Amino acid sequence: MQTKDYNDFIENENVKKILAFRLPRWSQLPSVDLYMDQVLTYINNTFKDINVNDDIVLTKSMINNYVKNKIIKAPDNKKYDKTHLVYLTVIMILKDVFSINDIKSFITMQEGSYSIDVAYDYFCKELENVLVSTFTKRQGNLPFVASHRSSQIEIVRSSIISTCNKLFAQSYIKFLNNEINKNNSETTIAKNKQAKQTKQTKQAKQAKAKTTKVKTTKTKTKTKK
């Protein structure tokens, strides 16, 4: 059963951006190799619409660490190719849910079963499929993108589902917190307005009482004369 909060959540602009999120396919990745700063800009811009808590950020030290631990290959003459971008994209999607060693095993397993362009494009399609299903279909089975099922496909799918569920929870929590803060702010404004009106009413009564007292005093003075 969908609640009003959930319906408002789905209509939120940030969620609409998440539902419209698309990863560039293999053929859409830059055809020229990139330097470190260009890689950082490219990857971080790719994920800006699903960066709910500003935690999907790629840094120079992260890339150096991935190279050092042989998660990705070393750059050629300080330049990174399409394969680097693919690996970094997958890492950015999975890193908040899985350890680097798990991601390394995940990548190695996919490399042993499919060519990198096929594996990556499937990953993109499944991510977008699961994102929409996770946010909009809270009951029932998620539809499959793959035309067949295998252990590798099941692993990709399960990994993506975990990531999307976390993103859903983070987005929903942020939305509800914003709503609470908004309501608290409106309540505070209403209370301040009421307090101001009460003060003004009290001041008006005091002024009126003071005026009445002055008039009464003047009347008594005239009477004595």
Per the CB < 8 A criterion, the answer to whether 36 and 80 are in contact is: yes
Q: Amino acid identity, residue 149?
A: R
**Spatial distance between the Cα atoms of 55 and 85, rounded to a whole number of angstroms:** 19
Give CA–CA dist 21/15, Å, rounded.
10
Q: Which of 82, 155, 163 is nearest to 115 (CA)?
A: 82
Tell me the CA distances in angstroms from 137 to 1, 61, 132, 141, 165, one per residue in order. Answer: 11, 38, 8, 9, 12
Predicted structure pTM score:
0.68
Give the closest residue to 167 by CA, choosing from 120, 128, 131.
131
Q: What is the pLDDT of residue 175?
A: 77
The pLDDT of residue 72: 93
Residue 1 has what pLDDT? 46
Let me know: does 152 contact 111? Beta carbons within 8 Å: no
What residue ranges of the chain have pLDDT lower than 70?
1-4, 52-56, 138-151, 183-192, 195-196, 199, 203-204, 206-225
Radius of gyration of the chain (CA): 30
Closest residue by Cα to residue 71 from 123, 107, 37: 107
3-state secondary structure of 130: helix
